[in-house]
Structure 1
Amino acid sequence: MPQLNPYPWFMIMISSWLIFLLIMQPKFSSTYLPNPPSNKVKPVKKFTPWLWPWT
């Protein structure tokens, strides 16, 4: 059964991971974020209690 021979498939897998880790990953991680995170504090909303008409 030739599919049980790991030699060609193992080398393809290792080479594809090396390509991804060494070449593609830095390109993906250096992309520009269109909405950078900000340090703004969101205002706290004050909620008023609901007044039930039958109480």
Structure 2
Amino acid sequence: MPQLILNPWFYILVVSWAIFLTIIPSKIMKHYFNNEPETTSTYKPETNAWNWTWH
């Protein structure tokens, strides 16, 4: 049965996991934290109450 032969499948498994664990996470993490957090502003916009005329 060819499933029991480790060569070349074990090598493909090891190389693919090495790629997944080294190269791909560094490329993905560049997209997560591209904006630095800003401090919240103390400015509060003026809010007006709605004047509903119910008949």
Compute the TM-score of the two structures, normalised by the length of structure 2: 0.50
The aligned residue for residue 7 of structure 2 is 7
Q: Spell out the pairing of 1:8-47 with structure 2 (5 A cutoff).
A: 8-33=8-33
Compute the TM-score of the two structures, normalised by the length of structure 1: 0.50
Flag as ranges the 4+ runs of structure 1 deviating above 3 A. Answer: 32-38
CA displacement 1:12-55 (0-9 Å, x = unmatched): 010001111111111111214588778x7xxxxxxxxxxxxxxx
The runs of 5 or more residues in structure 1 that have no matched partner are 41-55
Aligned AA (1:23): I
Considering only aligned residues, what root-mean-square deviation do their CA atoms show, in Å? 2.6
Aligned AA (2:15): S
The runs of 5 or more residues in structure 2 that have no matched partner are 41-55
